[in-house]
Amino acid sequence: MSRSRTGSYPAAVSLVTLAALALSACSGGTSAPGSAGGKTLVVDTSFNLKTADPGREFEPTGSIVDKALYETLLTFKGGDVTKPLPGLASSYEESPDSKVLTLHLRAGAKFSDGSAVTADDVVFSLTRVIGLKGNPSFLLDGVTVAKKDASTVTLTSEKANPALPNILPNPALGILNAKAVRAQGGTATAADAAEKYLNKSSAGSGPYTLTSFNANTQVVLAKNPKYNGAQKPTYDKIVLRNVQAPTQKLNVQRGDSQIALDLNSDQTAGIAGGLKVLSGPSSDVIFLLLNLDPGVSDATADAKFREAVRKGIDYKSLLTLGGSGSVQPGGVIPSTFVGALPPGQAPARDLAGAKAALAASKIKNPSVKLSYASDLTLDGLSFQSMAERVQAQLKEVGVKVTLAPAPTTTELDNYRNGKEQVGLWYWGPDYPDPSDYLAFLPGGLVGLRAGSKAGADPALTALGEQAATTTDAAGRQKLYEEIQTDLNDDGAFIPLMQPSRHIVAASSVTGLAYNPVWTIDVAELGAK
């Protein structure tokens, strides 16, 4: 997984059908108790949430929350992540070498306490993200933030960084009221003590403020009367509730909620009663990891064995588990992003070829453990079901697969520490740019988890370095395609699918769009 670490260049193909669909249903926003008839929107989702502090937040539910509480310098509209748009910055310019990004702040922007947003707040906020050395800190690796004047900041990168405009919309890079946060122990170092305060009271300029926060049960937001950005919120109150998928379906059907975020294709089949479904492939890529370290597994470290597994998987069969709308990506980069391989280059099952490759490996009676999080579902898809199907498919090849499920908290440690022989995981985009997937290369964050150490493949590493700093759009596309082709031929990763994502909502809710960075933007939602 990525989020749990768990613009000038097109970054992704817009999910047009998702962004454009206005949903219709039987129930509108309810009246909040004591709100004099104000509109309340109730959103049910399965929480993946730890904190509301943007400098530490890097979970999907946290991104929904912080997108509402804090403005970022740049943003995206709806589900269209092809080009960053003005946020707190009204405009920006990139230097010809893509090393310096200059951003001009929007005039009149105010925090929820009425104080003006300044360049000093921006420098403090982004420097704090870097200094905390938390989950989102990598977003600004090699970046220095400086004030040019009262309304202008510069972000200077050590190397060409064409992805930076696409990174800045991430809610973890929300801008804080520096004075308020410093008064609560906020600093740009690991000694920062402001998280407790930020879990009780927001310090942003976003369309909403924080009323209450519980990472296990419920988050409540209230409309920010001082907000003066372009997207005026419709709802006076937002309630995010931690609810499992079966109950989500019941709640939205009887009008107890207006949005359900985590239903699978089976659960949305036959949805009626004035409810409609927003469907399409997610940007999450589910993959198999085969460890290259012979100290972990002699079998998976063998190139012919990995070829046998790659050819032995029945990808079309796996897609049926993901439901209608699921797709098979050509490589580790999802099909909706620039740099994705054409679908025709995706691996296909070749059972005879798989058996031949296994014979060529000379591994007698191969046996491996397939590890995965037993309690993990993604876009309504159970990893248990996928693991069982992979086990059955590889048995046909002649590979014995022993399933080794464990709770997510346990298995994440094994995954991150590179202890899995074969792992079943997924990668959700941290930002909509192919450079996010360089983590799969030797020495990268995910590469290391598969025993792919720095220096293991100098040619592939050089391709990655070139891709990361190339500013020409066509050149970037070509390089990322070449990288994925190399990974598909002999790498540690086998991309399996992008499961479908389904959102159910009431007819009164308009403007709903799935965004791969923050799922939904509650401030963009309207009511009729």
| pLDDT band, residue 2 (cuts 50/70/90) | low
Q: Give yes or no for residue 37 having a pLDDT over 70.
A: no
Q: What is the pLDDT of residues 249-291, one digit of tens each?
A: 999 999 999 999 989 888 898 887 789 899 888 899 999 999 9
Q: Write out the DSSP string of 8-41.
A: -S--B---HHHHHPPP--S--PEEPTTSTT-EEE
Give the mean model confidence (pLDDT) for residues 425-440. 94
State how far the Cα of 172 lies from the Cα of 491, in Å rounded to an integer: 31
Q: What is the pLDDT of residues 223-248, one digit of tens each?
A: 999 999 987 899 999 999 999 889 99
Question: What residues does each domain of the chain span?
Answer: 16-264+502-527, 285-498
CATH superfamily of 16-264+502-527: Periplasmic binding protein-like II (3.40.190.10)
The pLDDT score that the predictor gives to residue 480 is 97
| pLDDT band, residue 378 (cuts 50/70/90) | confident
Q: Give yes or no for residue 373 having a pLDDT over 50.
A: yes
pTM of the model: 0.84
Q: Give yes or no for residue 210 having a pLDDT over 70.
A: yes
Q: What is the pLDDT of residues 81-119, one digit of tens each?
A: 888 999 999 999 999 999 999 999 999 999 999 999 999
Give the mean model confidence (pLDDT) for residues 445-449. 96
Length of the chain equals: 528
Q: What is the pLDDT of residues 336-370, one digit of tens each?
A: 888 999 988 999 999 999 999 999 999 999 999 99
Structure token digits, residue 385: 């079901």
The pLDDT score that the predictor gives to residue 13 is 36
Top CATH class, 285-498: alpha beta
Select the more confidently predicted residue: 410 or 463.
Answer: 463
The pLDDT score that the predictor gives to residue 379 is 80
Q: Write out the DSSP string of 327-365.
A: B--SSSS-TTBTTPPPGGGS----HHHHHHHHHHHT-SS
The pLDDT score that the predictor gives to residue 4 is 43
Cβ count within 10 A of residue 439: 20
| pLDDT band, residue 1 (cuts 50/70/90) | low
| pLDDT band, residue 377 (cuts 50/70/90) | confident
Q: Write out the DSSP string of 254-282.
A: TTS-SEEEEE-HHHHTT--TT-EEEEEE-
The pLDDT score that the predictor gives to residue 77 is 94
Q: Give yes or no for residue 10 having a pLDDT over 70.
A: no
Q: Are 423 and 415 in contact (CB under 8 A)?
A: yes
